[in-house]
Structure 1
């Protein structure tokens, strides 16, 4: 039998439950929604989680489509799932955990006696490190972003090639291969010997059906590639960016983007313009390097120095 919180499943079974991690302000216990899918045959263990950032909902959309499609009778191995990690942020549709005003995906591996976010991170890290592979589902918050997978351990890490292989198996089409900030699950788990990636499934307010569909396909690609499911799959070539250049507004006004998300840009090519409300051009911003338009702000209005967009640089195919 495999358990996660109150969810318990014998081989060939699925169960759902709660992973208790603390109490709310009125003293009531709360728990994260969890599921265990226990294959009829032995095999690897995959850990899957979503919404460590409380307003990033596409990952939840992926999980709610993936689980009903799983048949333990056809599965080898086990899947451990935490459907919503940032419980408090999710309740109020906020990116950070409002209890301690913390970005939860900067607190791994956590502390079981620490802050609210550290306690949630510790509980989910304990579950994650029972696995052989980890998928931490994200999106570009409420910005507009291409669908991509992030390898965050750094190119010098002993598990870099394994993490890159996992990203390629997921098969979004784009990979960002850049060392991430301390405290990310995808930084902490490889130190424990577990290949881990962040699929960043677009960016939206609420959720986006096309990104969710791509995420569902990605999870099943991983399940097939690593032998959880019987059908073999050969990963397709991925476009990789090894760096980011961010662009801010040199003045206030209204932004008009010239290339679209995923378009290639060349050094010196116009990326965006800033105009007055009357259409008078105030600034034209050009690319400093060749790359791919990766992410943009959603709203057109900007103040001086405010973030506008990101270009993925040092691009190759693998």
Structure 2
């Protein structure tokens, strides 16, 4: 059966790319999000993937750029639907939020087809996502430095919580954040419609991180094998799961020096960071309140009083 997404249309064993129209620019030109349809030669599930719903989170775009050329529809069971760049306006100007309506796209789901620019884009992509069996919404940590993780955002009491955890484990990048997310996230809205949805956060800091992109590519192929889109075994490994976090700010202004690497275990009382003057004179030292894992840090060292410096994951287990 032929599958269509926007102007992309592919029969069994075919691949096609095109555009999904979601509105018009200020000069009246149509806006088309780049889309791809990979239609397997054999029947199976449907996977939906998207990237850059936050316009400066580029690692997901890098994942798709590398995944699609490696996919042979003749060897695929089922269908893969992709929107390669969701936040069209923000991507064009390398910004996080949609500059047309100053909206963070991943707070706009399930969207509104008659609403603002972001709501219309969210509605169009949500319509595709809810027609799938599984959803990967590829992100990265924006301006912060962070470990590669997969976020399960539906909440522990959700009826699809177990299925979302399974999808996160199959992706297999080593770390899972299992915490109910804010309203408007695709990873919150998708499960409400019965579709297991996770949010791989592939590294942090604005840019193009080859190591995080590689982990994302590996994760996508892990999912494709685990759910039988492709032949082959996926070595599902134990993941480190975090369900609670403590955030630490600077007690004084100056330059911060972190005492641990991302992903390091810390114990209560361990020094997390020091604040000094530009001349290296000590001003403050901050220690961990609880044991955990250094999960996220600011990108640049300079801080004002009270400014965010790092996060430690505290409610940790292995699953």
TM band (smaller chain): over 0.9
Task: Note if 1:14 corresponds to 2:15.
Answer: yes
- Residue 85 in 1 paired to residue 86 in 2? yes
Question: Which residue does the alignment assign to 2:263?
Answer: 262
Distance 2:310 2:296 in 1: 5
- 1:268 counterpart SS class: coil
Q: Deviations over 1:276-296 (max 9, x none)?
A: 111111111111111100111
Deviations 1:243-293 (A, max 9, x none): 111111111110000001000011111100111111111111111111100
Pairwise mapping of residues 31-42 of structure 1 onto structure 2 (< 5 A)? 31-42=32-43
Matched, 1:53 2:54: yes
Moved more, 73-82 or 235-244: 235-244
Give the drift of 1:49: 0.2
Residue 287 of structure 1 pairs with residue 306 of structure 2: no
Residue 122 of structure 1: SS of its match in structure 2? helix
| 1:205 CA displacement | 2.7
1:237 counterpart = 2:238: yes
The answer on 1:44 being equivalent to 2:45 is yes
Report what 2:197 is aligned to.
196
CA separation in 2, counterparts of 1:144 and 1:126?
32
Helix, strand or coil at the partner of 2:243: strand
RMSD: 0.6
1:207-227 Cα shifts (integer Å, max 9, x gaps): 100100000000000000000
Of residues 246-255 and 209-218 in structure 1, the stretch that sits farther from structure 2 once superposed is 246-255
Query: 2:159 corresponds to which residue?
Result: 158
Could you tell me how far 1:182 is from its partner in structure 2? 0.4
CA distance in 1 between counterparts of 2:82 and 2:168 reads: 19
Question: Can you list the C-alpha shifts for 1:87-118, whole angstroms capped at 9, x where unaligned?
Answer: 00100100111111110000100000111100
Query: Are 1:75 and 2:90 an aligned pair?
Result: no
In the TM superposition, residue 234 of structure 1 has moved relative to its aligned partner by: 3.2
Residue 104 of structure 2 is aligned to residue 103 of structure 1? yes
Aligned to 1:130: 131
How many Å separate the matches in 2 of 1:232 and 1:300? 43
